[in-house]
């Protein structure tokens, strides 16, 4: 009962926060890119995870928009964003964002993302460090930690309970059950399949970038590594690995939190990112 | 009307608790469950069975490719086909097929198939497949390129067989400066090409467009085959010609015994071994392996696969297998092959645990009492 109320409350907040971001489709060198933006202040670009959470303007987007001009684009292959045929590697994603920022007239941005989005942000920042004012990564893969190999997300993608325990600290919590619902209609299932297709293209053969570690030194801006203390998909050891290659970075752990901090511990997540980026 | 005998070479010795305690007969099933000493006898027996099909007058025998699993023990069907070129004299040897995206370079397939065609004196049927979903987990080959690589590799192989080499090849996934395979196939312009499929519209249209033969993978409800061959005929018409029955193959397990009752008693337990153990996780579908549209179609066809069947009644009603006396099998086979309009039937009876002598008895009854009446 309590969970049901929480769920209703979240739904109401999602509804109210919609007023912030207006989705539009812009053209980037012939590719349609779906993007939402809202708020005022320095440009702040959020790169989403494989969940595709930037399909909607969610409470955490809205919270940032009180301090920044928030841009929330969808990666190629998600929603209305095209150009997936031109994507073969994580580097192609980074180049895609270079062209998007150029199209938007953004010089220097605050850049960050969760999971896949965080990895893309890191790949962008090693190539064009002068375009990144501040960088934050949450639950980002990209490196490889020999002692803690990343689990196989693809093996469990059709098994909702297993997926929940991989992605959430509390797999029985209302957020886990809302983000990864038990019974979803086939169309949404196919959208999930499409999202996983984008991820598979990038990581199937090798779920990390073997050249990333030795290029991270190129990032000179302040960097926040924000990890769920109980992230089982990309464990905190991966944040620690980033930290070792980024002397100017700080690592912050959110306790009792899994891979998707923006859902499982939204308040702490938003607060940590906002405080760091201001 | 042609009849081919197929064999998966399944592993019959899974532990009794397998169905309950293991989640997969594929990819990550521990290979400690494989016993190479038993495996030796099994390969001998399975090869004997296939050679026996040649003696009995089947038009061809079929082998296929699977990796890291108990369902089919031929990671290299070409090795088995090579052995069979030396054990058979008359029948075609259909390798259905090589999973092209798993071969790098795919020229390996052009070479090995040409070797088999030359070795067998022109008896090879060259099957080309995308490969099952689990193979992409086993080989870590990117499933999101499966279809692109399949088509490029297929075009490359056919060109390698039909265009004098050396020539240069340049496509998205493959670049070769010197395409020049030795040997070349005996059959001209090239061995017959069969493409197995499970009814996805993309594959149906592709095969029809190229005028190759479409082989419906077994273990589906008869409605799936009805729809599949209907789509194929339509696709051929769209491509400007009438489908030849020889372009359509129907995969269907058949078991024959003296009476209906005896046939069911002898065969049923072994079919359940197959369903409950070996099909476990065969549907593992890596993302991008099919288009989103096909993925949706697969979701909507839930319940049409053999693994979803719970009792004998469902198996009989869905025609997942034809089991009975020679007379019963004659009637059913004749009815459905005509209804489906197919010119090729791919049949098998070995589900893993079926004793070899029963498999041979059924094959002999099928060849002698049934097939002469349904040609």
pLDDT at B352 over 60: yes
CATH number, position B60: 3.20.20.30
Partner-chain residue, chosen from B140, B142, B292, that has the shortest CB–CB distance to A193: B292
pLDDT for A12 equals: 64
pLDDT for A4 equals: 66
pLDDT at A1 over 60: no
Are B110 and B157 contacting, i.e. CB atoms less than 8 angstroms apart? yes
Chain B contact set for A77 (CB, 8 A): none
Q: Determine which of A116, A200, A208 to mutate to test the interface with B (most B C-beta atoms within 10 Å).
A: A200
| Position B124 confidence tier, pLDDT thresholds 50, 70, 90 | very high
pLDDT at B15 over 90: yes
Into how many domains does chain B fold? 1
pLDDT for B342 equals: 98
Distance CA(B215)–CA(B207), nearest Å, equals 10
Instruction: Using alpha carbons, list the distances in angstroms from residue A104 to A64, A97, A99, A107, B94.
Output: 19, 10, 9, 9, 57
% residues pLDDT > 70 (chain A): 94
Q: Determine which of B140, B144, B149 to mutate to test the interface with A (most A C-beta atoms within 10 Å).
A: B144
pLDDT for B292 equals: 78
What value of ipTM does the predicted structure carry? 0.93
- Between A18 and B83, the higher pLDDT residue: B83
- CB–CB contact B287 A154 (8 Å): yes
Partner-chain residue, chosen from B142, B292, B300, that has the shortest CB–CB distance to A204: B142
pLDDT at A116 over 80: yes
Q: Please tell me which residue of chain B has the smallest CA distance to A89.
A: B142
- CB–CB contact A190 B292 (8 Å): yes
pLDDT for A14 equals: 64
- Between B194 and B284, the higher pLDDT residue: B194
Distance CA(B204)–CA(B214), nearest Å, equals 7
List, in order of start, the domains of chain A with CATH numbers. 2-277 (3.40.50.1820)
- CB–CB contact A204 B299 (8 Å): no
pLDDT at B257 over 60: yes
Distance CA(A14)–CA(A20), nearest Å, equals 10
A6-35 confidence digits (pLDDT tens)? 766 776 666 655 556 778 999 999 999 999
% residues pLDDT > 70 (chain B): 100
| Position B358 confidence tier, pLDDT thresholds 50, 70, 90 | very high
Average pLDDT, chain A: 93
Residues in chain A: 278
- Between B365 and B375, the higher pLDDT residue: B365
pLDDT for B374 equals: 96
Over residues B314-327, the mean pLDDT reads: 97
Partner-chain residue, chosen from B137, B144, B299, that has the shortest CB–CB distance to A197: B144
pLDDT for A10 equals: 74
pLDDT for B291 equals: 81
Across B257-312, where does the E strand assignment appear? none
Instruction: Give the residue numbers in A contacting B (CB under 8 Å), as ranges.
Output: 154-155, 157-158, 186-187, 189-191, 193-194, 196-197, 199-201, 204-205
Distance CA(A5)–CA(A11), nearest Å, equals 10
**Which SS3 state, helix, strand or coil, does residue B152 take?**
helix
| Position B164 confidence tier, pLDDT thresholds 50, 70, 90 | very high
- CB–CB contact B142 A205 (8 Å): yes
Is the previous residue joined to B150 through a cis bond, with omega within 30 degrees of 0?
no
Over residues B334-352, the mean pLDDT reads: 96
Over residues A200-229, the mean pLDDT reads: 98
pLDDT for B129 equals: 96
| Minimal C-alpha gap between B212 and chain A (Å) | 28
pLDDT at A212 over 70: yes
pLDDT at B6 over 60: yes
| Position B91 confidence tier, pLDDT thresholds 50, 70, 90 | very high
Average pLDDT, chain B: 96
B282-291 confidence digits (pLDDT tens)? 989 899 988 8
| Minimal C-alpha gap between A94 and chain B (Å) | 20
Range of the domain at B27: 2-373
Please indicate if any CB of chain A lies within 8 Å of the CB of B23: no
pLDDT at A136 over 90: yes
Give long-range contacts, CB 8 A cutoff, 24+ apart: A146-155.
A147/A237, A148/A235, A148/A237, A148/A238, A150/A207, A150/A208, A150/A233, A150/A234, A150/A238, A151/A232, A151/A233, A153/A196, A153/A199, A153/A233, A154/A196, A154/A200, A154/A204, A154/B137, A154/B286, A154/B287, A155/B28, A155/B137
Residues in chain B: 375
pLDDT at A197 over 70: yes
DSSP state of B26: B
Partner-chain residue, chosen from A187, A190, A200, that has the shortest CB–CB distance to B286: A200
| Position B26 confidence tier, pLDDT thresholds 50, 70, 90 | very high
pLDDT for B88 equals: 98
Distance CA(B359)–CA(B194), nearest Å, equals 26
Over residues B22-27, the mean pLDDT reads: 97
pLDDT for B302 equals: 76
pLDDT for B298 equals: 75
């Amino acid at each position: 009962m309590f969970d049901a109320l929480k769920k209703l409350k979240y739904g109401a907040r999602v509804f109210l926060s919609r007023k912030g971001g207006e989705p539009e489709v812009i053209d980037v060198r012939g590719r349609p890119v779906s993007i939402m933006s809202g708020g005022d202040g320095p440009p702040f670009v959020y790169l989403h995870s494989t969940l595709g959470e930037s399909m909607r303007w969610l409470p955490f987007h809205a919270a940032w928009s009180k301090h920044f001009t928030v841009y929330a684009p969808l990666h190629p292959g998600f929603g209305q964003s095209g150009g997936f045929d031109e994507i073969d590697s994580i580097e192609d994603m980074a180049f895609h964002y270079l062209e998007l920022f150029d199209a938007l007239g953004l010089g220097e941005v605050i850049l960050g993302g969760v999971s896949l989005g965080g990895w893309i942000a890191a790949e962008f920042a090693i190539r064009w460090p002068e375009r990144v004012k501040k960088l934050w990564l949450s639950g980002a893969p990209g490196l490889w930690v020999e002692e803690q190999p990343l689990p196989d997300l693809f093996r469990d993608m059709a098994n909702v309970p297993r997926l929940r325990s991989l992605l959430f600290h509390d797999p029985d919590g209302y957020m886990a059950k809302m983000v990864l619902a038990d019974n979803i209609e086939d169309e949404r299932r196919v959208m999930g399949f499409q999202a996983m297709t984008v991820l598979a293209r990038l990581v199937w053969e090798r779920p990390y970038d073997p050249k990333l570690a030795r290029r991270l030194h190129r990032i000179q801006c302040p960097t926040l590594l924000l990890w769920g203390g109980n992230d089982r998909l990309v464990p905190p050891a991966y944040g620690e690995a980033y930290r070792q290659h980024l002397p100017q970075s700080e690592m912050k752990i959110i306790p009792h939190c899994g891979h998707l901090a923006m859902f499982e511990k939204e308040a702490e997540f938003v607060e940590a990112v906002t405080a760091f980026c201001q | 009307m042609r009849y081919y005998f197929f064999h998966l070479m399944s592993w019959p010795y899974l532990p009794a608790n397998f169905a309950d305690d293991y989640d997969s007969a594929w990819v990550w099933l521990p290979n400690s469950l494989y016993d190479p000493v038993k495996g030796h006898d099994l390969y001998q027996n399975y090869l004997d069975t296939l050679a026996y099909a040649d003696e009995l007058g089947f038009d061809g025998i079929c082998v296929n490719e699977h990796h890291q699993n108990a369902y089919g023990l031929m990671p290299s069907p070409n090795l088995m086909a090579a052995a069979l070129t030396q054990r058979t004299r008359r029948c075609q040897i259909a390798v259905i097929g090589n999973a092209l995206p798993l071969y790098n370079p795919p020229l390996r397939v052009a070479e090995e198939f040409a070797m088999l065609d030359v070795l067998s004196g022109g008896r090879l049927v060259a099957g080309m497949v995308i490969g099952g979903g689990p193979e992409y987990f086993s080989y870590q080959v990117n499933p999101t390129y499966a279809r692109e690589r399949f088509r490029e590799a297929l075009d490359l192989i056919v060109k390698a067989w039909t265009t004098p080499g050396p020539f240069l090849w340049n496509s998205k996934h493959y670049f070769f400066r010197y395409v020049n395979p030795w040997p070349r196939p005996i059959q001209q312009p090239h061995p017959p090409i069969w493409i197995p499929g499970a009814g996805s519209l993309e594959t149906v249209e592709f095969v029809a467009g190229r005028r190759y033969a479409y082989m419906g993978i077994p273990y589906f409800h008869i409605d799936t085959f009805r729809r599949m061959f209907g789509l194929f005929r339509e696709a051929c018409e769209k491509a400007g010609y009438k489908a030849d029955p020889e372009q359509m193959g129907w995969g269907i397990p058949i078991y024959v015994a003296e009476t209906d009752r005896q046939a069911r008693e002898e065969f049923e337990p072994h079919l359940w071994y197959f369903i409950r153990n070996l099909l476990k996780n065969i549907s593992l579908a890596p993302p991008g392996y099919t288009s989103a549209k096909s993925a949706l179609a697969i979701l909507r066809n839930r319940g049409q696969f053999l693994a979803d069947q719970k009792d004998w009644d469902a198996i009989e009603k869905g025609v997942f297998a034809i089991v009975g006396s020679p007379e019963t099998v004659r009637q059913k086979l004749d009815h459905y092959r005509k209804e489906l309009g197919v010119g090729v039937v791919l049949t098998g009876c070995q589900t893993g645990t079926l004793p070899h002598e029963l498999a041979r008895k059924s094959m002999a009854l099928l060849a002698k009492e049934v097939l002469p009446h349904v040609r």
